[in-house]
Structure 1
């Protein structure tokens, strides 16, 4: 779940499951939500499960936001009452390893955060105008820089995008 710059809440849910014919299936749902509350999250997840015809759940993988912890607890209680959790729900709450890795890498960047922020600001400046980007490309050619890619701005929630930004810079 996240909030857009327009202050609208969204949730994306991806389900991997084995159907009755023992075929691996994947479903995805992207929807707008009214809040990040536990009840809103649980109802949206339940709606997806219902529309996909899923009635047994082994695990849900979420990032480390405290609202997710509370939402999973709430959902687990509801699912337990319907007897729809596999293994009594012992493995229903899984933390996303990619999110944990992102937090670790971001913590490591704190040592050189000034450098990262300056590079980010410079790239944002260059990329914010077609004229500036064109002038930047001219400078790259004048300096005979052999890098084939183009500087890209990082995305806060993707540690590898910061790495790619720094590598290109």
Structure 2
């Protein structure tokens, strides 16, 4: 591995080119259920070319840091949201596109309780909980035809925790 990415904390501003950060922060959009439940409403820009939105559960094994990225993927026909069902952090790797090649990779660490929605056609790493196995609700496109492109790096890219750690 010759190149190494250093993680930074996941924030809405930093992640904006790639997707939405999903978290229940600030004042709820509205109160429901007789004022006993705060609703943080419509947090993601879900986008599908066809098909429908589906909800799946992913049970991912941990991938501790330091680690490596040897594969990224993207979904040209739909966005993809990852919502942790356990209070765990996970690694998010994203990249820009240069004529079908992922470039300018960035690595983010979520804090427990944060989820993400990856915009349609954004290169991203595999689901990588850090400390323990992670259970995630995943909302993405269900439909006919393939919705997956993979890119394998000839030389894996290292990933290490940066000084900015999510808390």
TM-score by length of 1: 0.25
TM-score by length of 2: 0.25
Bigger proportion of residues as helix: 1
Q: Which structure is higher in RCO with an 8 Å CA cutoff and minimum separation 6?
A: 2
Bigger proportion of residues as strand: 2
